[in-house]
Amino acid sequence: MSFPLQPTFFGLSLEYMENVYEQFFVLKYHGGWSFTEAYSLPIKLREWFLKRLVRQKKEEQEAAEDASHGTGRSQTVLGPGVNPPKL
């Protein structure tokens, strides 16, 4: 007797789990999260934090490149939605 079910029928595929562990690593390495914190996040919230972290890193990279090339964009980045005080 044979069973035509895929080996992942009763669990998650190795590829999926590799992706989840990669997400945990990124949150831990770049975001300072603990494994337990990342593991406990609901999936959609974890995905949002990863997308936001990627956006933040891109903004930081662009700011560093602008500063090194002297393009004049010298606006201080204080955080999302936070502007420097007007003098």
pLDDT tens, residue by residue, 5-45:
666 567 888 999 999 999 999 999 998 999 999 999 999 99
Task: Give the type of residue at 67.
Answer: A
Give per-residue pLDDT as tens, 56-78: 999 999 999 988 887 655 556 66
Give the predicted TM-score (pTM) of the model.
0.63
44, containing H or E segment: helix 43-69
Given a contact cutoff of 8 angstroms between Cβ atoms, the answer to whether 48 and 42 are in contact is no
Quick one: pLDDT at residue 6?
A: 62
